[in-house]
Amino acid sequence: LSELPRPRQTRVLTVANQKGGVGKTTTAVNMAAALSQSGLKVLVVDMDPQGNASTALGIPHTGDVAGVYDVLIDGTALADVVQESPSLPGLWCAPATVDLAGAEIELVPMVAREGRLRKAVRVFLDERAATGDPIDYVFIDCPPSLGLLTINSFVAGSEVLIPIQCEYYALEGLSQLLTNIELIKEHLNPSLQVSHILLTMFDGRTRLSAQVADEVRAHFTDTVLRTSIPRSVRISEAPSHGETVITYDPISSGALCYLEAAKEIARAARAQEEGGTDE
């Protein structure tokens, strides 16, 4: 396995798209797995009450487990809720339990309600850096809505990674998503930027997939990762084994494409750092 460059600073990527079923969770966990397998330290924050990311990473998240709910509502430290992946050392997950659904309402009257995740992530990253074992990447898996859980996710991130499904309705709602990101930028998190778009569930046999891909690339140019993720049965099977496709079937096309896409993300940061354009 090739080593990937470590970013100079922790990169916090919010994986977002208001549409459900477009590959947000699949992308968050497989990108995280791909980077951790290449020797990087990665944290996944599961912000979706359904807890699909926790499941896919083999992390227990039943009601009695401490998770993101406790962090947002009770101020529990992230360090006290993260669990290391059983199959991928160097990959941690802050799990989502069902009570997270209630947090959407419970957050409403709270002070600085939009910034609670950001604060918790900052403290965790600072602690890890201080112990000489810094986290390189954080992936925040969003629910498919624009409530306070998603807003917290945007405020905590510095980058947005948008998965786009290569299907007919893929672009519907995308301009709304971009408008919302602009609003977050303007009011809550000026440094937020859409850094990467990933085409998912690409089906090379259909004209439609190719058309959607062409349209997205024409519009978003270099933001779109060159690697797209094929529709693959192995990718969809992996979560039921509590694994990402990276460990479940490492030589499948799905695993290889997520590894390739992760490389692009890691190298994009290095190129940017060397160009000095973001300093």
Task: Return residues touching Mg ion (CB under 5 A).
Answer: 24-25, 52
Which residue is associated with the tokens 């997950």?
Answer: 93
Choose among 89, 195, 104: nearest CA to 143.
104
Q: Minimum CB separation from ligand ADP for residue 279, in Å?
A: 33
Q: Which of 42, 151, 201, 269 binds ligand ADP (CB under 6 A)?
A: 201
Nearer to ligand ADP, 144 or 250 (CB): 144
Nearer to ligand ADP, 21 or 39 (CB): 21
Q: Does 18 bind ligand ADP (CB under 6 A)?
A: no
Q: Does 51 bind ligand ADP (CB under 6 A)?
A: no
Q: Minimum CB separation from Mg ion for residue 201, in Å?
A: 14
Q: Minimum CB separation from Mg ion for residue 176, in Å?
A: 18
Residue 276 main-chain phi, psi, to 5 deg: 70, 15
Q: Is the dihedral of CA 180, 185, 189, 191 positive or negative?
A: positive
Please count the other Cβ atoms lying within 10 Å of the Cβ belonging to residue 273. Answer: 15
Q: Does 200 bind ligand ADP (CB under 6 A)?
A: yes
Q: Produce one character per residue of 5-33: b if its CB has 16 or more CB atoms within 10 Å, e if not.
A: bbbeebbbbbbbbbbeebbbbbbbbbbbb
What residues line the site for ligand ADP (CB under 6 A)?
20-26, 52, 144, 200-201, 229, 231-232, 235-236, 239, 254
